[in-house]
Amino acid sequence: MKNKPVTVPEIQGRKAAAKKITALTACDFGFARLLDPTAIDIVLVGDSLGMVSLGYENTLPVTMDEMLAHARAVRRGITRALLVGDMPFMSYQVSLEEAVRNAGRFIQEAGASAVKLEGGQRAAETVNAIVRAGIPVMGHIGLTPQSVHQFGGYRVQGKNYLDARQICQDARHLEKAGAFSLVLEGIPADLAAEITAAVKIPTIGIGAGPACDGQILVLHDLLGLTDGFTPKFVKRYAELGALAKEAVGRYIDDVRSGAFPAREHCYQVERENWPIQRGENKGCGG
Ligand code: KIV
């Protein structure tokens, strides 16, 4: 029997039940199939796929069409977890109308159950317009990567008093606007704890400490598929990148040495009445 799909009210109920929410990103069908048999609650098709799948330097170049193509692929591999589509840069900032239309595309064209967008107080009206269209919205505050140029880099947010107060206000504005949950990214753990206690909707942390109602990571980071700088908040549960390189190296060695393909990798067919058996073979050209 298939497990029941995770719903938005179920995620909301986790806060009162004090049962931690688990969330991960996925960017294609293959990774979605890996996650599907696990107990993961939320699968986010995050715009971080721009960096881990598409090779962009940051998330800013990612378009709606790219996000929808990836979200559709993930949808085909996920049967149980709540699927959330991440609204890319410039898909919700220009007007409320565009924001609602683009949020609707994630639901209609990719089969997502909710969308996520970045921004606090200044995004509250947009969140509310999308919610009024019947689409659940996950907020995202703190270190919001689409504002990397405004921040001057990927820096922990809320370190000084005024910034911390603003992030608290952001959380309250999004809750009031109707967001069903909040991603808290790159903020001090005590600030995340304060916000988690202050709002009724669940908080999902990434680089925000243990007090959040749940945690999210980029799947590529968790699996050790990214190289270069690993942020402090990432725990690499495997080193699949190193394993993959080692496997490819062994394949290259085997092909070069003739060890692959071996007899067990070849089709052996019993042939009857072939000219070759009567010494009449004319070869491929004959
Ligand atoms: O794009 C993304 O992957 C995200 C999560 C890390 C929260 O926004």
Q: How far apart are CA 218 and CA 183, in angstroms?
A: 13
3-state SS track over 210-271: CCCCEEEECHHHHCCCCCCCCCCCCCCCCCHHHHHHHHHHHHHHHHHHCCCCCHHHCCCCCC
Q: Please report the pLDDT score of residue 282 as a whole number.
A: 65
Range 78-93 average pLDDT: 98
Assess whether pLDDT exceeds 90 at residue 138: yes
Cis-peptide, bond into residue 136, ω within 30° of zero: no
Q: What is the position in ligand 1's atom list of the atom closest to the CA of 185?
A: 7
Q: Please report the pLDDT score of residue 280 as a whole number.
A: 66
Active-site residue 185, yes or no?
yes
Q: Please report the pLDDT score of residue 269 as a whole number.
A: 85
Q: What is the position in ligand 1's atom list of the atom closest to the CA of 217?
A: 6
Report all structural domains of the chain as residue ranges with CATH numbers, in order of start.
8-235 (3.20.20.60)
Task: Name the catalytic one among 185, 264, 270, 272.
Answer: 185
Question: CB of 218 within 8 A of CB of 53?
Answer: no
> Which amino acid, residue 261?
P
Pocket mutation for ligand 1, best pick of 89, 116, 223, 225 (most atoms within 8 Å of C-beta): 116
- Tokens 């749940």 locate to 214
Range 259-265 average pLDDT: 97
pTM attached to this predicted model = 0.94
- Tokens 């960096």 locate to 51
Beta bridge partners of 82: 42
| pLDDT tens-digit readout, 242-253 | 999 999 999 999
Range 109-131 average pLDDT: 98
Closest residue by CA, ligand 1 atom 4: 46
279: confidence class by pLDDT, cuts 50, 70, 90: low
Strands 181-185 and 203-206: parallel
| pLDDT tens-digit readout, 12-70 | 999 999 999 999 999 999 999 999 999 999 999 999 999 999 999 999 999 999 999 99
Q: Which of 60, 65, 70, 74 is nearest to 29 (CA)?
A: 74
**Tokens standing for residue 262:** 């071996």
